[in-house]
Structure 1
Amino acid sequence: MHPNPSDAEALFGTDAAPPSPMAIRAGAFELAVDDGWLRHIHVGGTEILRGIGLTIRDDQWGTCLLQREETSAHRDDGTWVFRFEATTAGAGTLAAAFEARIRDGELTVTARLSSPGGFTTSRSGLVVLHPIEGVAGSPATVMHTDGGDEDGRFPDRISPGQPFFDIAAIRHQPRPGITVECAFEGDVFEMEDQRNWTDASFKTYNRPLAWPTPYRIEAGETVVQRVRVRIDGPASGDAPATPGERAVVPVHVDHDARSPLPALGMGHDLGEPVSETVRQTLAGIRPDHLQMRVDLRSRSAADHLRAAAAMLDDVGTGTGVNLGVILPDDAEPRAALQWLADTLEELGMAPSGVLALPAAYLRSHQPDGQWPGTATPDAVTEAVRGVFPHAAAGGGMLTYFTELNRCPPRGRIDFLTHATAAIVHAADDVSVMETLEALPHVFRSARAMVPTGTPYRVGMSAIGMWSNPYGVRTFDNRDRLRVPMARNDPRQTAQFAAAWNLGYYARARAAGVDAVALSSLGAPFPTMDARGLYPVFHVLRGLARAPRDRGVGTATGDPQRVDAVAWTRTDGRAELWIANRRPETTLVRIEGLDVKEVQCLDATVAASARGARDWMDRTAAMAVPEATLPPYGVRRVIGTAPGQEV
């Protein structure tokens, strides 16, 4: 079930409603056909593949939108068939024909690509996604194109490079009793660990990264690729149906499971103007700290710092500052940092932490590729320590976990940091919400890079991308569509982002992350505009007011549907925030908490919440433990431990 088109703007920030998936059961397979992809492929109630689809990348690694011209799905003589034909939108034309068939316990997917005038691409072809839960760390056998076999494992910690190369077929057991083999034809395939980019999958794709890009599909050339999925397990037609969604999701509050909450920060790009809405955001949310990025390549860097100092003085929230510093590649790091320290001292700004990197490290580099000839990140960290003796000297990256994983700190650091973005590879609603599943893997892998006890601070993170390490720019999104690698994702303005951000914070808290910066004061990830507040504003304002040393445990009966975070208030009562990650209504039952008051944040109250900074403070008395969460809805619940008198 999907929201009505009239709700699309409130839910997604765009009037482009999401596609409606088509549920299929054929032979041993259960799956959904969603926007041309085969998703969540199950056998015997177990997800064996996260998806199979066709991806077309342009010469800058941007994902080309496909305009599907013909789509059909039918059964014929015991065979289920799904087909579509499509062409790329924009400059250059690539014609694609996609066909999926299920017969006799085998799923076969074929793609045919051609271009009337030639097409320049970084990668075009079939993609197979393996899920991460139950697969990460498990054995796999890879058959190579020369006929040899390789016994290995899907990585447990996130692999910075490709786990497997030259894949003719890969075989694994998603659970005892079911063996899945995926065989590939038509090109050379390899696998990457997409958890690097917070995708919840391992991706097998065509054309090795070591080969030159971009490349041409010439006029008159036809590329044919094929994937065959074979199952050794339940007999065809005998697979039990995948479990239906339970009517009620329990949410349990454990008052004895106490641990700190992450400090909540927000980003602030000093190249963006300090508008009135920026000031209102800072005053309204009052985050624990700001993750400020200053680019010393800019001739206006001093003016940018001056504007930030004036904003902090005027608003007067006492918010701390962590600096992310971009150094010119040709600068001597200590001299550039000394200029920055002198400027900050004149302005009365004393950052609590500093991470500095040469600009070349805003780009992504393959682990075995050519690395910049600038000062190394470790050398710059030591320069920071000398110039800013009273600030923590950070190690890590200003961009994303991928870049950190490929270049982890080797020297002494005072904290580890990186950011994340949810739309590097895919921008549909399902994939974006599934990035939350990858966060525990990211946090665990990052922690393993540094000595135990090293503070871990996640930098400015959001659905959109503030920077593109994989191309020359982030991608224009003036039409407010769901576009990968876009700076301005429309869901930032809508209910979807409220649920996603609460889920992000809940996972950071469960992983023991010390601090996390979500959204930004202004562009690129604002929480309000001149017309009013976005739903994410209310979530961040609520989280910012939580006592950091009073977190209590939560557990949800279905983490793929519901997220929760809770703490003990200064008045002794407990406060619980719940988010529905799904596009359909979900019923939850609260356990371990006697409910006293509730307030809602969802599309039905969007107009009222937009104009009321204190919207989530306007709780109403309620004494029942069940709550209905509309699509992507958020609930604030206040109560007491069972039997507690406050």
Structure 2
Amino acid sequence: MSHPSRSIALFGTDEEVPPPRVLQAGKLSAELEAGNLRYVRWQGEEVLRAVSFIVRDKDWGTYNPEISDLKVSEGADSFTVTLRAVAGDAEQRLSYEARIEGTADGTLTFHGKGRTDSGFLTNRTGFVILHPIEGIAGAPVTIEHTGGEIDETTFPEIIDPVQPMMDLRALTHTTPGDLTVRTLMEGDTYEMEDQRNWTDASYKTYVRPLALPWPYRIEPGEEIDQTITVTVNGAGRENAVGGAVSLRAGAALGPVPPLGLGLRPEDARTAREAVASLRALNPAYLVLHHDPRAGHDRTSLEAMLEVARALGADPWLEAVIAATDDAGAAEEISALGKTAHDLGDPFGTVLVSPAPDLKCTLPGSVWPDAPEAAALYDATRRAFPGVRIGGGMFSYFTELNRKRPPVQHLDFVSFTTSPMVHAGDDRSVVETREAHPAIIKSVTQIAAGKPWAVGPSAIGIRDNPYGAAAKDNPDNIRQAMNWNDPRQRGLLGAAWALGYFVDFANGGAASVALGGCTGPFGAVSAASDFPRPWFEEHGGVYPVYHVLRGLARLQDAEMHALDLPASGALAGFAARQGAATEYWIANMGATQVEVVVAEAPALRVAILDVGCFAAAAASPDHMDGLSDHQGAFTLDAFAIARMRTGD
């Protein structure tokens, strides 16, 4: 069997991504990437996650700019970057120029000036500043408003559903390393949103208040002229550089929760054809999506139920209710309940959501007509007597946080997430794990003692609450709001899935559903109308399959934390079954990591990495092949390791 390129194995795509250029001026550094700045640091400590001049379309999609005339000059005490860029599509274009300057005294300026000849419809054009969350959440910040007023407040600890800070001209905060950072924003009025709502690892300060009309039009000849000035003061401290990561099973966290998969009618046929591989994966349940607006009916329910029965998985019904009034919704749910009864009452769990809640209602906007939540849930209980009723949001935690359900009418609360609502690059996807603890703390508060479930979640987005639809991806690239994201088929997707399950299982989720059976969120390769490089010729299972199979087999084992930081090099957990302990870990980055299990120098180990990618795709039981090992070992980029001791 031929082997895929390293890029296909890691990311599912051969798309070239130029490495960022590190700019340095004394102790001040920043990474230049696609004409914007990431990881602004002072003596190695991160002070801002990003400063970006962005151009978005009317559906909140961010254009990838075409950059030209890029010039970079650096000296020991300063750096300067100038560039020109064009952003847009066949219908509209906006050109801009930027100048970035950094000096060793801790001053960084980023000036952007844009204009359009055609007119330009946008939801946001201008600067966005990202503030990191680790060591910042709950910490003090000084606000300078546009009128000169000064307020002392804190960054939100529990995730704020709306804008925690508004009418902003400048923000001053102190880093965990005792650096004082002032961010001055000129050229427009700014406000902040808590991006942890979307699992972004940041607070975002952005141009143009959401209370103003959107989308808005930049007229021909109109000029956008904005400047961000960042000033850093303080001595700072050197960051420690770690060696091998030592693993030790920590506190018991309770049983490993059930693992589920999603299933949509569109993928029922290919899932049925892949039953042999999927049965070996052995998911505890399948979330069957049903939306009458998309033509889903009894026939499509039967097709999905056939897959669930073939897999021995508990079918959960995830039903969109199209009616927007209480009486119409009750009638629609009653009819759905009768259909389920005719099918033999297969559903022990039913989740419902009004169709309007699948779209975002931004803060300050008028909520669309929708059935009253309590009445909707009570009607579901009447139509499906004796089953568990779940509710919340079929879209993201953001919408759950902004429209909280009456939990007294529910048996459990549910929501999903995607790591690429705002950014589609690899590092942003991986960094979203840093926001999971805050999501867990917030959803536990919202659930008010009721169980909560998360998923089906994947890297790609199931739907786009913020625009017309998720992005098609015929060129198989990394981009925000992808429906068919290439990393679902790569090792990065497998590492992300393991980290995701670990985070939410550790946090108390009653169950976790990831991705799907086949299709854009699938674990098994199947014929499709989107690109699947290498798999189109060879088929097989994706790397994520092996992770999901391993997690499903550990259900109800005693789960133990490994105390790995969310921003660290590894994600993983330990599970104890009798005298044996099983570890699953993933390298969450593109560089190698040395690993040692402190409490068990003698192990049996199975590895999933680039070197065995092709063999693993052809062998669903690849991770059963444990080999004896002693001492430390090295994990390649986004590699997965399964380890056992004590058998």
2:211–2:363 CA contact under 8 A, matched in 1 = no
Q: Secondary structure at the match of 1:274?
A: helix
Give the distance between the partners of 1:410 and 1:144, measured in 2 at CA. 36
Give the distance between the partners of 1:77 and 1:300, measured in 2 at CA. 64
Whether 1:632 aligns to 2:638 is yes
Deviations 1:537-591 (A, max 9, x none): 1110111100324212322378521011121235x31110110001111111112
Q: Secondary structure at the match of 1:449?
A: helix
Whether 1:309 aligns to 2:305 is yes
Partner of 1:57 in structure 2? 56
Q: Aligned AA for 1:203?
A: K
- Structure 1, unpaired ranges of 5+: 641-645
Q: Aligned AA for 1:252?
A: R
Deviations 1:336-382 (A, max 9, x none): 12222221222224322212121111011134421122212232112
Q: Aligned AA for 1:201?
A: S
Task: Note closer, same or farther for the CA distance 1:242–1:41 as it changes in structure 2 (3 Å cut).
Answer: farther
Whether 1:579 aligns to 2:573 is no
2:267–2:519 CA contact under 8 A, matched in 1 = yes
- Structure 2, unpaired ranges of 5+: 527-538
2:145–2:170 CA contact under 8 A, matched in 1 = yes
Whether 1:619 aligns to 2:631 is no
The aligned runs of 1:517-532 (5 Å cut-off) are 517-530=513-526, 531-532=539-540
Q: Secondary structure at the match of 1:83?
A: strand
2:56–2:124 CA contact under 8 A, matched in 1 = yes
1:277–1:528 CA contact under 8 A, matched in 2 = no
Q: Secondary structure at the match of 1:272?
A: helix
Q: Aligned AA for 1:535?
A: P
**Residue of 447, 452, 467 corresponding to 1:450:** 447
Task: Note closer, same or farther for the CA distance 1:308–1:503 as it changes in structure 2 (3 Å cut).
Answer: same
2:476–2:486 CA contact under 8 A, matched in 1 = yes
| Residue 524 of structure 1, CA deviation | 3.3
Q: Aligned AA for 1:296?
A: P
Q: Secondary structure at the match of 1:605?
A: helix
Q: Secondary structure at the match of 2:421?
A: coil
Q: Aligned AA for 1:565?
A: F
1:309–1:347 CA contact under 8 A, matched in 2 = no
| Residue 98 of structure 1, CA deviation | 2.1
Whether 1:550 aligns to 2:544 is no
Cα RMSD (Å): 1.9
Q: Aligned AA for 1:536?
A: V
Q: After superposing the two structures, state which structure 1 stretch, 158-167 or 302-311, moved more.
A: 302-311
Give the distance between the partners of 2:599 and 2:495, measured in 1 at CA. 23
1:495–1:632 CA contact under 8 A, matched in 2 = yes
1:593–1:639 CA contact under 8 A, matched in 2 = yes
Partner of 2:80 in structure 1? 81
Whether 1:264 aligns to 2:259 is yes
Give the distance between the partners of 2:314 and 2:517, measured in 1 at CA. 14
Partner of 1:485 in structure 2? 481
Task: Note closer, same or farther for the CA distance 1:105–1:559 as it changes in structure 2 (3 Å cut).
Answer: closer
2:107–2:229 CA contact under 8 A, matched in 1 = yes
Partner of 2:190 in structure 1? 189
Partner of 1:347 in structure 2? 343
| Residue 126 of structure 1, CA deviation | 1.2
Task: Note closer, same or farther for the CA distance 1:143–1:340 as it changes in structure 2 (3 Å cut).
Answer: same
**Residue of 417, 421, 424 corresponding to 2:418:** 421
Q: Aligned AA for 1:447?
A: T
Task: Note closer, same or farther for the CA distance 1:44–1:333 as it changes in structure 2 (3 Å cut).
Answer: same
Q: Aligned AA for 1:638?
A: R
Partner of 1:643 in structure 2? none
Give the distance between the partners of 1:593 and 1:585, measured in 2 at CA. 21
Deviations 1:444-499 (A, max 9, x none): 101111222x1110021010101000001111211011111111111001111011
Whether 1:108 aligns to 2:105 is no
Partner of 1:119 in structure 2? 120
1:265–1:516 CA contact under 8 A, matched in 2 = yes
| Residue 80 of structure 1, CA deviation | 1.1
Partner of 2:27 in structure 1? 28
Give the distance between the partners of 1:635 and 1:312, measured in 2 at CA. 29
Q: Aligned AA for 1:84?
A: L
Partner of 1:18 in structure 2? 17
Q: Aligned AA for 1:181?
A: R
| Residue 53 of structure 1, CA deviation | 1.3
Partner of 1:159 in structure 2? 160
Task: Note closer, same or farther for the CA distance 1:415–1:278 as it changes in structure 2 (3 Å cut).
Answer: farther
Give the distance between the partners of 2:363 and 2:78, measured in 1 at CA. 44
2:27–2:42 CA contact under 8 A, matched in 1 = yes
Whether 1:408 aligns to 2:404 is yes
Q: Aligned AA for 2:171?
A: I
Q: After superposing the two structures, state which structure 1 stretch, 146-155 or 298-307, moved more.
A: 298-307
Give the distance between the partners of 1:595 and 1:22, measured in 2 at CA. 42
| Residue 291 of structure 1, CA deviation | 1.4
Partner of 2:438 in structure 1? 441
Partner of 1:180 in structure 2? 181
1:33–1:39 CA contact under 8 A, matched in 2 = yes
Give the distance between the partners of 1:216 and 1:271, measured in 2 at CA. 37
Give the distance between the partners of 2:215 and 2:555, measured in 1 at CA. 51
Q: Percent identity?
A: 35
Partner of 1:328 in structure 2? 322
Q: Secondary structure at the match of 1:223?
A: strand
Deviations 1:140-174 (A, max 9, x none): 11111111112211111111101111110011111
| Residue 59 of structure 1, CA deviation | 1.5
Q: Aligned AA for 2:80?
A: V
Q: After superposing the two structures, state which structure 1 stretch, 123-132 or 290-299, moved more.
A: 290-299
**Residue of 593, 606, 610 corresponding to 1:603:** 610
Q: Aligned AA for 2:559?
A: G
| Residue 119 of structure 1, CA deviation | 1.8
1:466–1:524 CA contact under 8 A, matched in 2 = no
Q: Secondary structure at the match of 1:487?
A: coil
Task: Note closer, same or farther for the CA distance 1:300–1:559 as it changes in structure 2 (3 Å cut).
Answer: closer
Give the distance between the partners of 2:424 and 2:307, measured in 1 at CA. 34
2:26–2:76 CA contact under 8 A, matched in 1 = no
